[in-house]
Structure 1
Amino acid sequence: MPKAKQRKIKLHGFNNLTKSLSFNIYDICYAQTEEHRAEYIAYIDEVYNATRLTQIITEVADIIGANILDVSQQDYEPQGASVVMLISEEPVVSEQVENVEEPGPLPETVLAHLDKSHITVHTYPESHPQGGISTFRADIDVSTCGRISPLRALNYLIHSFESDIVTVDYRVRGFTRDIRGKKHYIDHKINSIQNFLASDTRESYQMIDVNVYQEHIFHTKMLLKNFDIDNYLFGMGRGDYTAAELKKIERRLKREMSEIFYGRNMVRAR
């Protein structure tokens, strides 16, 4: 059955709504020795260095139809990287601009009006000094002023990182006027961020929504469902540990993931 077309709002001037997407991912691993923890941090810095992050957000800019004005990138010592990208408006091709509540491309070019907008990404690798747990976090912010929603890029972003936990915030600020002078505080339908994710992603993660609809604030937390300890051991393999050690490591990893997902400290595994 064909989808009903969204009614287009005839605006007075430009679309002045600001739509902001904050996307945080966490990757967890167990590295038993100090040497292995250092190797994990070095691995993360190599895989997600400033050059690689610039490639990722350049694709994001392409997906949301942005002109790239300027890029500033920096790798840090001893670890981490940041990239800031300024983007500007591009002529609107109305037939190609869609904010339908469905997954975005992986990737696909969409043209949209954007003005005074930006994309930023920062990484935060860190390790527990005694417990062997190492955590990598990447924070990405996409802010657009125009017709297209940055949610269009969410599907691509999630597939660009290996993520155990994902937190997504989306909010719409300001207003724009139509030709009759009526204010519009949001210009596209959204019930849940989950509806902008591909089916394979929704099936892979446990998800919780916390939404404030009247304020146009949407929040989704995601925790990977399947746990295979082989995917979390860095520097050593399953055969290097006893069954008892593997159980203890699994408890530590799951506690770390639960603490990040629920945002609170829990009883430590022994």
Structure 2
Amino acid sequence: MSEKLKLYGFNNLTKSLSFNIYDICYAETQKDQKEYIAYIDEQYNSERLTTILTNLTDMIGAQVLNISQQDYEPQGASVTILIAEKTMVPVGNTQVAHLDKSHVTVHTYPEYHPETCVATFRVDIDVSTCGEITPLSTLDYLIGSFDSDVITMDYRVRGFTRSLNGNKLFMDHEIRSIQEYINQETLEHYNAVDINIFEANLFHTKMMLREIDLENYLFNTSIEKLLSEKKLDIENRLKKEMIEIFSGKTV
């Protein structure tokens, strides 16, 4: 947009949602692993990521001001969208809007580990908004947009606004846990843990898929051709990868 947006009733609260998603797959050979990375790189290229983020922007009631997207070599992609609140208030014969300093970003990091035959696809999403817009309402959409095996989320509210009588307000909505904003049917599929610092308006939730359907994790491998011992070995490798990411520890 060439002209500046005028501000009204300024709300200085900045709300940031950082969202890391991990999709894990078993690929038997290094060739399979590279083919999986190429597949993921195509499935989640910058064009598709842009579609996901523009849908998210519409869900939180914002308008797109600018889009920057990039695919990388050998793999990966990034998209950044500058957004503003859609609210338009008539003032005489003119229209004014506010919030021209919010953004949504996404980055992908496909990688594989030859020693474990496990390939991991990570998506980092950051939504930063000002004022009344909150990104928490998009959580179910984001989880559903990717094959999410492990998820870590951080939500932080900074700054303050004022009530009509001049009192400072450091939060303009109620929240005890990020899980409150996730559909119960979605939560039933995950083990979820909260680590919150209420005094700092800082909320952290991590989630790991409860059950593994092995057939959904095999790339270029037929489950019918696997012996029971091999199936168990693959399941253990997948679970180990998930547990390490979920716990933040090497086991």
Provide closer, same or farther for how the CA distance between residues 182 and 218 of structure 1 changes in structure 2, counting only shifts above 3 A. Answer: same
Q: Distance in 1 between matches of 2:12 and 2:144?
A: 30
Which stretch shifts more, 255-264 or 243-252?
243-252
Correspondence list, 1:1-270, <5 A: 13-91=9-87, 114-266=99-251
Aligned length in residues = 237
> 1:239, CA displacement in angstroms?
2.4
> 1:113, CA displacement in angstroms?
5.5
Q: Return the TM-score normalized by structure 1.
A: 0.85
SS of the counterpart of 1:59? helix
Provide closer, same or farther for how the CA distance between residues 167 and 113 of structure 1 changes in structure 2, counting only shifts above 3 A. Answer: farther
Counterpart of 1:144, as a letter, is T
Runs of 4+ in structure 1 over 4 Å off: none
Spell out, residue by residue over 1:106-137, the C-alpha distance to the aligned partner (whole angstroms, 9 max, x if none).
xxxxxx96430000000000000222000000
SS of the counterpart of 1:16? coil
Counterpart of 1:63, as a letter, is M
> 1:70, CA displacement in angstroms?
0.8
Q: Return the TM-score normalized by structure 2.
A: 0.91
Judging by fraction of residues, say which structure has more strand.
2
Spell out, residue by residue over 1:223-268, the C-alpha distance to the aligned partner (whole angstroms, 9 max, x if none).
11121111111111112322212211111110000000000000xx
> 1:172, CA displacement in angstroms?
0.0
> 1:184, CA displacement in angstroms?
0.4
Gaps of 5+ in 1: 1-11, 94-111
Contact 1:119 1:140 in 2 (8 A): yes
Contact 1:18 1:143 in 2 (8 A): yes
Q: Distance in 2 between matches of 1:240 and 1:41?
A: 23
Counterpart of 2:33, as a letter, is R
Contact 2:85 2:133 in 1 (8 A): no
Contact 2:29 2:117 in 1 (8 A): yes
Contact 2:151 2:207 in 1 (8 A): yes
Q: Distance in 2 between matches of 1:167 and 1:70?
A: 27
Provide closer, same or farther for how the CA distance between residues 92 and 184 of structure 1 changes in structure 2, counting only shifts above 3 A. Answer: farther
Contact 1:17 1:172 in 2 (8 A): yes
Gaps of 5+ in 2: 1-7, 90-96
Q: Distance in 2 between matches of 1:176 and 1:92?
A: 20
Q: Distance in 1 between matches of 2:98 and 2:149?
A: 34
> 1:35, CA displacement in angstroms?
1.4
Counterpart of 1:181, as a letter, is G
SS of the counterpart of 1:219? strand
SS of the counterpart of 1:22? strand
Q: Distance in 1 between matches of 2:133 and 2:67?
A: 21
